[in-house]
Amino acid sequence: MKILMVGDVVGRTGRYFFMEQTPELKSAKKIDVVVVNGENAAHGKGLTPDVFSDLTKGGADIVTSGNHIWDNPKVLEIIDTEPFLLRPANYPEDTPGRGFCIFPVGRKKIGVINLSGRTFMQPQLDDPFRLTEKILRLMRKDCDAILVDFHAEATSEKLAFANYFENQFCNEVFWNSTPQIFKASIFKVREIFQPVNEFRNQIFIVS
């Protein structure tokens, strides 16, 4: 199975690039699932119903996010009704939307968890470590693979999360253009560190 993860898609330029390139890439690489972080896809901040539609028409199966998901209030029109639009799971329980999902791929099921770090983030959020353990207990019995989008400002927090949950996911992806660090890792197989330019899409294929 091949999974394509893309993030962040920023503004109109990022959306159009994603919509133009993803169908061809899916076909050429025989991609089964596309996960894209869309929190900055609407004019560089937030997400709207029309922009979400652009991403799904362009090939996104699951759209994750981070703290900027709330920057455009129009997202509230869809965040409770779109099952594969995620916001960080460690927001308060009464927050609209959902923080994880299970996506069917043929006879298999892929679990995706969306989380936010707490360092330099407002408002203060629930402990992502403890919450992830709770979600994993719910998802493991139903999923063939589990992916995590951990949206955080501090590289140290991302590394701490990655090391704590080593070998418990098929993949963890950490992205945020603010600290200029991207880390995609499958532990004991390969680790990738690369600088991020927020005006370019970072693409990582998990196979």
As averages over each run of 10 residues, the pLDDT of the chain (207 residues) reads: 86 93 93 94 94 97 95 98 98 96 94 91 88 92 87 83 74 46 40 36 39
Other beta carbons within 10 Å of 34: 23
- Alpha-carbon distance 176 to 96, whole Å? 23
Q: How far apart are CA 184 and CA 159, in angstroms?
A: 11
Task: Give the pLDDT of residue 201.
Answer: 36
Amino acid at 101: C
176 three-state secondary structure:
strand
Q: Which residues are catalytic?
A: 68
Helix (H) or strand (E) holding 183: strand 181-186
**Tokens describing residue 45:** 């901040």
CATH class entry, domain 3-206: alpha beta
What was the pLDDT predicted at 144? 86
Prediction pTM value? 0.84
What is the rounded CA–CA span in Å between residue 158 and residue 137? 21
**Which distant-in-sequence residues (6+ apart) come within 8 Å of 90 by Cβ?**
99, 115, 116, 125, 126, 127, 128, 131
